[in-house]
Homo-oligomer: A and B are copies of this chain.
């Protein structure tokens, strides 16, 4: 098994362990036991426990970033609304495809390790910024309400996080299509009719 494979193998098992136990409860021993390598081998491929975690988070962001396609208002074949819904679909698919990683992202590893907290923080900051920019674009296109895009991004991000949390961590059982539909509807009209 070559270097890259061995590395990937450890990474994959670390992901499962982090997902199952959460960062703090995940012990190096659990990871190496799962990966079937010696404890020292882990440190041959990663600087420390946090480094693996960070790498997993970085991968997650990269995948999410790739899933996201900028809305093109000049596209004659697909309406803006369709493109937005399509984006939601891609994000939902991406997050549900690799539930282990999604669990990791959702388990705010708050405490004990400030640098680590910052890592997740930066992840959500990046996601927030992505949303913010999209909303700003949307306002220019007239498909997003006027108002503070920062707040829109925060509220939207929170709503989505919580829904994923319930689905992935708490076993709330909805189909991918349903999740997409509900999110889209919520973002379009809210819930109150007063």
Q: Is the interface of A mostly helix, strand, loop or mixed?
A: helix
Choose from B156, B161, B192 the contact partner of A84 (Cβ within 8 Å).
B192
Most chain B CB within a 10 A radius of its CB, from A112, A159, A184, A192 = A192
Q: Does the CB pair B162–A22 fall under 8 Å?
A: no
Cβ of A158: which chain B residues have Cβ within 8 Å of it?
158-163, 165
A interface residues, how many (CB within 8 angstroms)? 55
Q: Could you give, for residues 134-177 of chain A, a 1 whenever the CB lies within 8 Å of some chain B CB and a 0 otherwise?
A: 01001000111101101110111111111101100010101000
Interface-lining segment among A28-36, A60-68, A103-111:
A103-111
Query: Chain A residues in contact with chain B, CB under 8 A?
Result: 21-25, 79-81, 84, 107-112, 121, 135, 138, 142-145, 147-148, 150-152, 154-163, 165-166, 170, 172, 174, 182-194
Can you offer 9 A-B residue contacts whose CB atoms are under 8 A? A25-B111, A81-B194, A107-B110, A109-B111, A145-B185, A145-B190, A155-B159, A155-B163, A158-B161
